[in-house]
Amino acid sequence: MSRGTGPGAVAGQSIEAAIRRANRAGRPAITAFLTAGHPHRDRFADTLQAVAAAADVVEVGVPFSDPMADGVTIQRASRSALQAGVTLPWILDQIGRAPLPAPVLLMSYLNPLLAFGPARLADAAAEAGIAGFIVPDLPIEESDELLESLEPRGMGLVQFVTPVTPEDRMAGICARSSGFVYAVTRTGTTGGSFDPTGAAEMLARVRRISHLPVQAGFGVREPAQVRALAPHVDGLIVGSALVERLEAGEDPATFLLSLRNATTGTAESVTPASGTKRPVSHGDAR
């Protein structure tokens, strides 16, 4: 339970703390998404550690046969992981064994969680050090059963708002979220592009309402987007672009640190053995 879960813990507190630390350092937090077991099941633990050393928060995707909120990249990753035999118990075991410096969220559609069982899930996730959950197809009106299992163990649910969420509903969603509020920057599935100006207007509306940090996702791919959105958001979630780099065999830390450093004058590198970050000169930046 070293990553902030356990009886009596406030739901999502380690996630919120990680985002606030990044903000105090003068930059938006970076939450990195990867599909568990993809592209190489036998290298997942090493990949997870590399991502966790370079990101502020890690979002691990549980592969599912019908990932309705995801675009082609994460659909492909889910199919690959399922074919490789990746299961929710395997994912929890892998995460629980890994010494990770960043809080970990599980992103799962509802069916695998119901099949596992909410009470059993809460125990196993807390034992693995999971800090919270994202469940895209679980509306707040139907979330009580899962929350009643998760919250006593210090875990909660990150909730979504979108460009078309009415303001009164947005207030209710923000009040029920844990860790942060996930602001979807565009209508549609993950992986596409978005309009920074329109996203900034939507993010300002969410931040006026939310007591939690607000992170923007769906379409974040490059440092220029981080710089454009930094004044309007507490953090950014990168998913499809990272998955594509992992599929290409690239070092995830190089890409993630380019996003972390987009708004600061000091670059950072990651010491692989410990997962710690150290300031470096621009000539040494990866």
Is the pLDDT score of 187 beyond 70? no
56, 59, 234, 268: the catalytic one is 59
Q: Looking at residues 192-200, what average pLDDT do you find?
A: 63
At residue 220, the pLDDT reads: 82
**Per-residue pLDDT tens for 89-127?**
999 999 999 889 999 999 999 999 999 999 999 999 999
At residue 238, the pLDDT reads: 93
Query: Residue holding tokens 């099941």?
Result: 41
Q: Looking at residues 146-155, what average pLDDT do you find?
A: 94
**Per-residue pLDDT tens for 220-250?**
888 988 898 899 999 999 989 999 999 999 9
Rounded to an integer, what distance in angstroms lies between the CA atom of residue 163 and that of residue 224? 21
Q: Give the sign of the dihedral formed by CA 54, CA 185, CA 225, CA 216.
A: negative
Q: Looking at residues 176-188, what average pLDDT do you find?
A: 84
Is 247 a known active-site residue?
no
Categorize the per-residue pLDDT at 195 as very low, low, confident or very high, splitting at 50, 70 and 90.
Answer: low
Reading the block at residue 63, the tokens are 């592969």
Ranges of beta strands (E only) in the chain are 29-35, 57-61, 104-107, 132-134, 157-161, 181-184, 214-217, 235-238, 267-271, 276-280
Could you tell me which residues come within 8 angstroms of residue 79 by beta carbon, excluding any fewer than 6 positions away?
63, 65
**Per-residue pLDDT tens for 244-281?**
999 999 999 999 999 999 998 655 555 443 444 433 33
Reading the block at residue 134, the tokens are 């994202």
Rounded to an integer, what distance in angstroms lies between the CA atom of residue 283 and that of residue 13? 36
Rounded to an integer, what distance in angstroms lies between the CA atom of residue 17 and that of residue 179? 8
Is the pLDDT score of 3 beyond 90? no
16, 56, 70, 268: the catalytic one is 70
Categorize the per-residue pLDDT at 50 as very low, low, confident or very high, splitting at 50, 70 and 90.
Answer: very high
Q: Which domains does the chain have, with CATH numbers?
A: 13-284 (3.20.20.70)
Could you tell me which residues come within 8 angstroms of residue 15 by beta carbon, excluding any fewer than 6 positions away?
4, 57, 103, 105, 131, 132, 158, 178, 179, 180
At residue 249, the pLDDT reads: 96
At residue 286, the pLDDT reads: 25
Is the pLDDT score of 8 beyond 70? no
Report the mean per-residue pLDDT for the chain.
86
Phi-psi region at 129: left, alpha or beta (left = phi > 0; alpha = psi -120 to 50): left
Q: Looking at residues 43-53, what average pLDDT do you find?
A: 96
At residue 176, the pLDDT reads: 93
At residue 277, the pLDDT reads: 45
CA 197 centroid distance within chain: 23
Categorize the per-residue pLDDT at 197 as very low, low, confident or very high, splitting at 50, 70 and 90.
Answer: low
At residue 284, the pLDDT reads: 29
At residue 282, the pLDDT reads: 29
Q: Give the sign of the dihedral formed by CA 61, CA 62, CA 64, CA 69.
A: negative
Is the pLDDT score of 155 beyond 90? yes
Categorize the per-residue pLDDT at 4 as very low, low, confident or very high, splitting at 50, 70 and 90.
Answer: low
Query: Residue holding tokens 């509020």?
Result: 181
Percent of the chain beyond pLDDT 90?
68
Is 123 a known active-site residue?
no
**Per-residue pLDDT tens for 16-35?**
999 999 999 999 999 999 99
